Amino acid sequence: MTEALRRPPKKNPVARTRQVTLPPGTRSRCALGLTAAAALGRFELQVCPQCRTVQYPPREVCGHCLSDQLAWRAVSPLGTLLASTVLHHSNDLYFRERLPWRIGTVHLAAGPAIVAHVHGDCVDGDAVRMTLKLDRSGQAVMIALPEQATPNMEDDRTLRETSCNPRLRRALVTDGKTALGMAMITALLDAGAGTVFAGDPETWKKSAEFNALCKDPRIQVQALNVTDSDSVERISRSIGGKVEILVNTAEYERDGGVLFNRDLNRAHDALDVNCMGLLRLAQHFGPAMAGRAADGVNNAVAWVNILSIYAHVSLPSRGIWSASKAAALSVAQCLRNELRPSGVRVINVFPGPIDQEWEQLTPPPRINPKAVAGAIVKALQEGVEDVYVGDVAQEFMARLRDNPKGLERELGNA
């Protein structure tokens, strides 16, 4: 049985911060299909459409019939752990720092045999459940898990290395006063976060619900406004070295398209919060998080951007807002690549319409803020990169793959 993690002792301020090391990150272009599946929390392998043979490792042509039309498909993750061993020596610096490390051979019910990392609660000869996870270098790895959940299962070192679990970590919610912000704070605390820093961009604006929530001693309120560079810099100097998970909930949403909207102040405000706010946060909090990405049990692990499905396809009735979200997505993709060498994961969340004040006239289905917060915590625990929350977001993504022009026309007529 996995031993439960304990709160680590306070860091020695004199000792040098542990330097970041990453697992080997080189993959073939073909193998990036595994990475794409892992980023979305799926278990997919190549399947030959001609002979139905499941392929592993990834390859250019089918190993049975030589067809070059291999497609990535969801397959059964169940298998049997044939044998395992524990490594006590490694020439790779990343694994050498983390020895002993368990690996083994798994025979999948779908056909192939796989060499994988093995969870400590798995027993040789027993049934296991395979999962694809992103490692610290941002590449997919195979992990064998017990078929049924075990006590403290998520505290296993292998899973801890490939997830961004909030347990025992300190998180910053940039705008904790909104319905989504308060739901996010509650979800993080329920997931075991040690401390949540709650940003308050409008200290003059009173909220009984927010004040009641902040009576919890694990919550520390910060006067943080992402549109104020001085505010962001001041707070980053105060708590930047403590933040291990940052969740950017700052949001500016208004109606209005482009053609008949000559009030550029609205466009400025949307870009200032949704895009420039992200830039300010990245420039002031990003370096500190990158520097603490190897800090033991409570290292910095994740940066979460709450965007919108309309970052992928514009909603003309809110064209300026959609454009600001698309700009934020571009910044987030850049941030992901800049933080990858440190091992900090950037998670982009694409919800459909959220049930809040600026969506009052939007017809159902709308997403409850608690559902969005729950999906984010689940993404952190599973270590995925992209999350599509709600029926609208998932339907739009499917239609963007099949008929993007049709979706564009339909939104234009809405």
Side chain identity at residue 5, one-letter code = L
Q: Which residue spans within 125-223 are E strands per DSSP? A: 127-134, 140-146, 170-173, 195-199, 219-222
Tell how far CA 305 is from the center of its chain.
9
| 185: confidence class by pLDDT, cuts 50, 70, 90 | very high
Side chain identity at residue 277, one-letter code = G
Burial class (CB in 10 A: 0-12, 13-18, 19+), 208: exposed
> What pLDDT, on a 0 to 100 scale, did the predictor assign at position 414?
66
> What pLDDT, on a 0 to 100 scale, did the predictor assign at position 193?
94
Residue 259 pLDDT > 90, yes or no? no
Residue 255 pLDDT > 90, yes or no? no
* Maximum distance among all Cα pairs of the chain, rounded to whole angstroms: 69
Q: What is the pLDDT of residues 204-237, one digit of tens each?
A: 988 999 999 999 999 999 999 999 999 999 999 9
- Decide: 116 and 102 in contact? Cβ < 8 Å: no
Q: What tokens appear for 364 in the block?
A: 């159902």
Residue 157 pLDDT > 90, yes or no? no
Residues written for the chain: 414
306: β partners:
349
Q: What tokens appear for 291 in the block?
A: 């520097």
- Decide: 324 and 271 in contact? Cβ < 8 Å: yes
Instruction: Provide the CATH number for the domain formed by 170-412 in this structure.
Output: 3.40.50.720
Average pLDDT over residues 31-50: 94
CA of 126: how far to CAs of 116, 246, 336, in Å? 15, 39, 38
Q: What tokens appear for 143 in the block?
A: 């992990």
Q: SS3 for 154?
A: helix
Q: Give every CB contact of residue 376 below 8 A, 6+ residues apart in sequence.
A: 184, 187, 247, 304, 306, 347, 349, 387
Side chain identity at residue 213, one-letter code = L
Average pLDDT over residues 79-89: 96
| 49: confidence class by pLDDT, cuts 50, 70, 90 | very high
Q: What is the pLDDT of residues 23-36, one digit of tens each?
A: 887 888 899 999 99
Q: What is the pLDDT of residues 283-326, one digit of tens each?
A: 999 999 999 888 777 789 999 999 999 999 999 989 999 999 99
> What pLDDT, on a 0 to 100 scale, did the predictor assign at position 360?
79
User: Where are the domains positioned within the chain?
Assistant: 32-153, 170-412
Tell how far CA 119 is from the center of its chain.
22
Q: What span, in angstroms and rounded, lies between the C-alpha atoms of 122 and 17?
A: 33
Average pLDDT over residues 254-282: 89
DSSP-derived secondary structure letter, 275: I
> What pLDDT, on a 0 to 100 scale, did the predictor assign at position 18?
75
Nearest alpha carbon to residue 46 among 99, 114, 95, 105: 114
